[in-house]
Structure 1
Amino acid sequence: MQRFVDVAPDVRLWVEERGPADTPALLLIMGAQASGLAWPEELVDLLAARHRIIRYDHRDTGRSTWSYDRRPYALPELAGDALAVLDALGVDRAHVVGMSMGGMLTQLLLADHPKRLLTATLMGTGALSVRPYTGPDGAQTPAAELPGVDPELVRLWSEPAEERGLEEELDRRVEHWRLLSGDLIPFDAEAARALERRIVEHTGHHRTSTAHARADTAGMERTGELAVNRVPTLVVSAPAEPVYPPPHADHLAQVIGGARLVTVPGMGHALPREVHQPLSAAILEHTAGR
């Protein structure tokens, strides 16, 4: 079922629900500049076997309102959007799965609105904490000195935004997915192109937005709040992660109270078919009975 939810004056978000309505809600929060359709259909269906799945388009993505250029917003406001979606659907508490920027928004929810979450699952994201990372040998590394983004991704992201024809834009997006996927699982360019073509059809155009990259990120650090977290939290470690390379996931599990770590073999900063079964199994095991 699809609908639109008003989250702010003149801002509407596209929302989709799937799965039995009488099962616990599971909210999927995608990353920056990514439509909710970036959650693959097969993965959503696997999770919907046990949950009422809710996914949505952030502002400035998909069918939601593209509003940043006329009304700039700070990135934390997008965490408020997630709560507004739950409110509109009558959901008091939900399991929340966040990827990349969505993982940061989920951390804000953990810190600021823990009573709204049944569990949290975080993947492909960095910690909103200044606590150092403690390595296996006991050595400490300042959070700001953990490994950075793969240089090839930095190069692609630094290219100036420009209008392109549809096929040229799809070429760029496929290359983006290739870099995000890492090098441990064979890259399926045709599947990536088909996904992006669906997203273009869903959105109604193939323009790109840089809104989330331009949004103010001030005030997002939550070191103290995350340290005393009591919401059951699962951190997914991805060995081929190019945006938040190892040991970012280990660091995340260290700074969030009670968090536990699970590794999905071969996973990068993408959700190819090869990770759907192990990832969904880990999430469903984490949410079971809660």
Structure 2
Amino acid sequence: MTPAFRLAEVRGARLAWNQTGRGGAVIWAHGMSSSAYGQESAGQFDWRPVSAGHRLIRYDARGHGRSTGGKTAEEYTWPELGRDLLALLDVVAPDEPVAAIGASMGTATILYAAAAQPDRFTRLVLTQAPTIWGTRRAQVPIRQASADLVERDGLAALERLTTDAPASPALAQARRFVSPIAVRSVIYPWVLRGSAITDLPAAEEVSRLDRPALVLSWTGDDGHPVSSGQLLADALPDARLVVASTPDQLHAWPGLVAEFLS
């Protein structure tokens, strides 16, 4: 049974969160348009092995799932989401170093939070690194066009353009290839616009983040290319890159992450 969600007042928003398991704290930060359990429900990830030995905190990012959010692009940029994460940790794990697992937008969120307050974090698991640095600019017109479409015609119009196929060969056995957008249509354009105007910290700043990191990428996903995972792993001073191209390789990730965090 999924534990009940609680609400934390964070920087002008109410962020929904819950926790499973016992032990040292681990925070999970989901990807854009998803929610605390959305990617696990779709069969992309399974973090139950993590909560078998840790206190796993899942939360809905600003504007996503059960959490509230406003209608400005700036509040959904990755640096601002990183500040949200740090403020949430003050509520859910005060004065406690935590490990962190992120996916896509969540990976970026964690990197900004860890760059700002490295002593808050022990280990980092960074999955689905999105387009970054030199490859990020190509996303700007795509995100802006999607925002305009949702604003004009609603979420259903954008969902109709989505191909019902696995984003990577590693996801061929996922329960769902297309997850529902867990953001209200009046907010989603601003989430997209925030994504359009944001990027990771510069490589020089990332290189100062000396926490052990596990970088997980899968093949065939243009929005989360292996090249981004490689760039991130190269920039971080203590990182290992693991790439999945088959379902069996992807299914090994939960155990790999649990071992890395132990």
Tell me the TM-score normalized by structure 2. 0.79
The verdict on how the C-alpha distance between 1:105 and 1:164 changes in structure 2, with shifts beyond 3 A counting, is closer
Preserved CA contact (<8 Å) 2:147 2:192: no
Unaligned runs of 5+ in 1: 129-142, 268-273
- Please state if 1:178 is matched with 2:157: no
Structure 1 vs Structure 2: percent identity of aligned residues? 21
TM superposition shift of 1:33: 2.4
CA distance in 2, matches of 1:37, 1:26: 15
Match of 1:232 in 2: 212
The one-letter code matched in structure 2 to 1:214 is R
Match of 1:49 in 2: 52
After superposing the two structures, state which structure 1 stretch, 235-244 or 41-50, moved more: 41-50
Match of 2:233 in 1: 253
- Please state if 1:40 is matched with 2:44: no
CA distance in 1, matches of 2:245, 2:37: 23
Match of 2:24 in 1: 24
The verdict on how the C-alpha distance between 1:158 and 1:51 changes in structure 2, with shifts beyond 3 A counting, is same
Secondary structure of 1:95's partner?
Answer: strand
Secondary structure of 1:14's partner?
Answer: strand
The verdict on how the C-alpha distance between 1:37 and 1:211 changes in structure 2, with shifts beyond 3 A counting, is farther
TM superposition shift of 1:159: 7.3
Preserved CA contact (<8 Å) 1:5 1:14: yes
CA distance in 1, matches of 2:25, 2:261: 10
Number of aligned residue pairs: give it. 251
The verdict on how the C-alpha distance between 1:164 and 1:110 changes in structure 2, with shifts beyond 3 A counting, is closer
Unaligned runs of 5+ in 2: none
CA distance in 1, matches of 2:173, 2:147: 23
The verdict on how the C-alpha distance between 1:284 and 1:184 changes in structure 2, with shifts beyond 3 A counting, is closer
Preserved CA contact (<8 Å) 1:96 1:117: yes
The verdict on how the C-alpha distance between 1:127 and 1:171 changes in structure 2, with shifts beyond 3 A counting, is closer
TM superposition shift of 1:116: 0.6
The one-letter code matched in structure 2 to 1:61 is H
TM superposition shift of 1:86: 1.4
Identify the match of residue 17 of structure 2 among 15, 18, 43. 15
Correspondence list, 1:1-290, <5 A:
1=3, 2-9=5-12, 11-20=13-22, 23-40=23-40, 43-69=46-72, 73=75, 75=77, 76-91=79-94, 92-126=96-130, 144=134, 157=146, 160-161=149-150, 162-163=152-153, 172=160, 175=162, 178=165, 181-186=167-172, 191-192=176-177, 196=180, 209-215=188-194, 217=197, 220-266=200-246, 277-288=251-262
| Cα RMSD (Å) | 3.5
The one-letter code matched in structure 2 to 1:40 is E
- Deviation track 1:183-206 (CA, whole Å, cap 9, x = no partner) reads 454365x6357x63xx76xx7x77
- Deviation track 1:17-44 (CA, whole Å, cap 9, x = no partner) reads 1112xx1111111122222222315713
Secondary structure of 1:215's partner?
Answer: helix
The one-letter code matched in structure 2 to 1:62 is G
CA distance in 1, matches of 2:129, 2:83: 19
